[in-house]
A = this chain, B = another copy of it.
Amino acid sequence: MNLEQAIYQRRSVRRYLADPVPEEAVQKLLEYAMAAPSACNKKPWEFYAVTNPELLGKLKHTHMFTNYNSPMVIIVAGNLKKALPGKQKAFWIQDCSAAVENILLGALELGLGTCWCGLHPNDKAADAVREALGAEEHIVPLGLLHIGYPAETPEARTQFDEKKVHYLK
């Protein structure tokens, strides 16, 4: 798929077909994710690819926005033990967000739809997801990404707004 098309076609998909996501597609998405930039190349990220039905059910009830019928989710999480020291630690959030965006865009190449549900800094949701995953304290779930073949196709768009642009020539 053309890059420009993908950028405009990346919209939140909230209804999915039941068809499973092929393992090769999941592998591709994770290769895309880990091609993202990270501050000082620390790569402080972990990826949980969940297809287990019981766990999926549990994860999807972690907050009101996550209960869509996707056949799988990928949780993108920060690994604080791999993050930069001191105040720079918080760069993990930007690194993981760039990885998320790569997954969302890359999914379109594979004919998949996605929806990014935010977890951190909503501690209640992030803690519930960490617990459901059985992950340790230094793992901070950033986002829950629904992934599946879409049963709806939201219109491609940008929300370009010239009021948010400042030219300094």
Contact = CB atoms under 8 A, between A and B. Distances in A.
A143 B94 CA distance: 10
Contact of A93 (B97, B165, B169): B97
A72 to B, nearest CB: 10
Interface residues of A, number: 64
Contact of A160 (B34, B94, B105, B157): B34
* Number of chain copies forming the complex: 2
A160 B31 contact: yes
A93 B6 CA distance: 22
Contact of A3 (B106, B160, B166): B106
A34 B41 CA distance: 26
12 contacts: A1-B2, A32-B158, A34-B164, A37-B101, A46-B166, A47-B165, A47-B166, A48-B166, A91-B118, A91-B121, A93-B97, A94-B100
